Amino acid sequence: MSELHGQDSTIEQDNRQDFHHAELISDESHLRVNHTRTGVRARPVTSSSSANLEDASLYFNREISTLKFHIRVLEQALDPSHPLLNRLMFLLIFSSNLDEFFEIRIAGLKRLIALQFDEVGIDGMRSSELMEDISRIAHEQVNRQYRILNDTLIPELAQQNIYFLRRADWTKEQKEWVSDYFKEEITPVISPIGLDPSHPFPRLVNKSLNFIVELEGKDAFGREGGLAILPAPRSLPRLIRLPEGLRRPGCDEFIFLSSMIHAHAEELFPGMKIMGCYQFRLTRNADLTIDNGEISDLASALKGELLARRYGDGVRLEIVNNCPSHLTDFLLRQFNLEPRDLYLVDGPVNLSRLMSILGDAERPDLFFRPFTPGLPKALNNSQESLFDLMRQEDILLHHPFQSFAPVEYLLREAACDPSVLAIKQTLYRTGTNSPIVSALVDAARNGKEVTVVIELRARFDEADNLAFAARLQEAGAIVIYGVMAYKTHAKMLHIVRREKGGLRYYAHLGTGNYHSKTARLYTDYSLLTANEKLCEDVYLVFQQLSGMGKQRKIETLLHAPFVLHSRLVEMIDREAKFAEKGKKAQIIIKCNSLTEPKLIRALYRASQAGVRCDLIIRGMCCLRPGLPGVSENIHVRSVVGRFLEHTRVFYFLNDSKPEVWASSADFMERNMFHRVETCFPLLDKKLIQRVRKDLETYLVDNCQAWILTVEGNYTKLVPEEGVPAISAQETLLFAYSAKA
């Protein structure tokens, strides 16, 4: 185990800022709030203890709530406590998040409206009504995003000698270099398309950069000028760093690919005069549609759908804001879009593709300082096998503050250990060049019985997972795709090892993916255990996934789509009964999303019974806190900061016999009823106390916490003068990461 210290090199460009580590306080009376409104209506409600808990006024809309999370991400671009390039990163993440929101959620709403199925959600909003609200908010925030970029970030980057050069700013030498770059790198791979009866409007790839060009004059065939479409080569970077000799000393200078194409577009239409050249981007429906009852081979069906995804129906048109209206109207007609689907932007239309600057700008001083994830004491400098350590006690890891390396090491050790007979693993998202997949391949080649349940339908990871499946099969592993009607989202690893007393089971259970890169960016829990009951249950879940037959009796784990939902409702109701009897009761829920109506109603009942409910919900939250007689005992906060909060963990005081459960599932209908999920208990009292302390850290955060109000707005907590600043992420980083 001592070699674990070599597994985690210091994390670059992703580390901690200066922070005053204060003793944790539980009283929020010293906090003041910075109100940030998002212009969303809250429905009026008449509250009482006898309120109908199915009343639509008790719920927020999930799509609007999702947008509000994206807005909280955008707010990070204005946070002066974040390093400058990380602030730019947050702005680009907002752009990427919004892309996916349109590709999936807006595409779904448009489809419902087109089918004249004006669905009503639990909040009472119809799809058509919702589209109007979403459009208004999205337009406001996109405009705001470009103002932040142009008025705040670009000037601050210039103060740090990082420049985005406009064409008017190019020197003679830079113009010559751009001209050469255009001829050598762009011209050979770009294909201008004139529009006429023999050149119909081309099918443009989803989210690709394109130009609409107005031409005057006659071409070689005598055709009158008109319109042309110029798709930018997708193989080229959208932001090009100037060579060192062309940059001012001590400066990083970049040129947009769009500026290069714009400057030399006339060379692509010889003899013609360009009257206008305007960049635009079309966002398409990217949701895959697979009929579970009609396909015989999931992998083959997915391959076909992945090709179709690039050319789904249009859902949004972004175009530079100086484009004349007759051209924007023309494009809207081509893509069957409405005026509200048009977004006029003051800058590059494809902001998410500018992420390359984060790697090209050699400015570590403008990123979070690097850190090295820590290890639990049990693993620190131990010379024992990880199997020996797991037999002694359960090991809980809190990523990214603690290293993900022990999980990778366990799998590598199992792959090489002659005593290991079999390995079973679920894979949902693993990333490219995955050490997890490599270890499974090695295990199969070493003669282990390797079974991998790989979820091919993990959104936007389908192509990678298809490739991993083929690689594992080639190595001799048994690869299955789970159950057709359910995505396999559970995070499980099961190892069978021959020991002196017979066969022994070992397991890993987690709240996050087997993804080495995101384990450095997302907060998650990992449990390494040799507990017989837990390991037996993990084995039974795998048997259920790979074989057929009736539901097996699973004693310790909770799993969806079977008992997880009902047991969570029972545990919430149990706290309510304790409170009604005057006993101690408390609920702390930390997850990504809270949208499932029956779970929300159970929390309302608990609040009505007097249970203090603290909910740490990063993203969507349909529950409406603070309603007298309904939810005045429920407090909802969202923590948004350097790391993406991804942990799903549930604490129940249980009349002073606390229980902690960690899960792969969020409090959403899809997780409870349409996915295979696991929820595992922490059985060691020390680990229960530790997780409770972690949760309390989030509950006193006054730097990165946003409080959800009864009106549906999020207000950011700001410490009052003289009150210690407390950031949960920084506090946990200080507590768990390796010390120099």
Q: What is the DSSP letter of 455?
A: -
Please state, in angstroms and rounded to a whole number, the distance separating the CA atoms of residues 568 and 671.
13
- Give bridge partners of residue 659 from the DSSP assignment: 652
E strands within 431-475?
449-454
Q: Which two tokens stand for residue 343?
A: 């977004």
Please state, in angstroms and rounded to a whole number, the distance separating the CA atoms of residues 477 and 475.
6
Q: What is the DSSP letter of 589?
A: E
Concatenated DSSP letters of 40-73 = ---------TT--TT-GGGB--HHHHHHHHHHHH
Radius of gyration of the chain (CA): 27
522 is in an annotated binding site: yes
Please state, in angstroms and rounded to a whole number, the distance separating the CA atoms of residues 374 and 381.
12
Taking each helix axis as running N to C, give the angle between helix 62-75 and helix 84-100, from 0 to 180 degrees, rounded to the nearest 10: 160
Provide the 10 A C-beta neighbour count for residue 521: 15
Which alpha helices (H) appear in 270-356, and where do they start and end? 298-309, 325-334
CA-closest candidate to residue 676, choices 408, 480, 473: 480
- Torsion angle in degrees (nearest 10) through CA of 432, 433, 435, 437: 70
199 is in an annotated binding site: no
Instruction: Please pick, among 82, 262, 489, 559, the residue that the annotation labels catalytic.
Output: 489
Concatenated DSSP letters of 182-246 = IIIIIGGG---EE-BTTBPPPPPPTT-EEEEEEEESB-TT-PBP-EEEEEPPTTS-SEEEPPGGG
Q: Which two tokens stand for residue 33?
A: 């709030």
Q: Are 313 and 284 in contact (CB under 8 A)?
A: yes
CA-closest candidate to residue 148, choices 100, 94, 96, 81: 94
Please state, in angstroms and rounded to a whole number, the distance separating the CA atoms of residues 414 and 441.
12
Q: What is the DSSP letter of 354?
A: G
Q: What is the DSSP letter of 185?
A: I
CA 356, 358, 361: angle at the middle one, nearest 5?
100
Please state, in angstroms and rounded to a whole number, the distance separating the CA atoms of residues 34 and 707.
10
Please state, in angstroms and rounded to a whole number, the distance separating the CA atoms of residues 571 and 313.
44
646 is in an annotated binding site: yes
Return the half-sphere exposure (C-beta side, CA atoms, 13 A cut-off) of residue 389.
20
Please state, in angstroms and rounded to a whole number, the distance separating the CA atoms of residues 377 and 374.
9
- Give bridge partners of residue 147 from the DSSP assignment: none
Per DSSP, the three-state class of 734 is helix
Residue with tokens 């009505």: 608
651 is in an annotated binding site: no
Residues 6+ apart with CB under 8 A from 326: none
Q: In three state form, how does the secondary structure of 544-581 look?
A: HHHCCCCCCCCCCCEEECCCHHHHHHHHHHHHHHHHHC
Please state, in angstroms and rounded to a whole number, the distance separating the CA atoms of residues 483 and 544.
10
Pairing verdict, β 634-639 and 705-708: antiparallel
Clarify whether 326 is annotated catalytic: no
Cβ burial, residue 160 (10 Å; 0-12/13-18/19+): middle
Binding site feature residues for ATP: 97, 522, 618, 646
Binding site feature residues for Mg(2+): 429, 459
List, by residue number, the catalytic residues. 489
Binding site feature residues: 97, 429, 459, 522, 618, 646
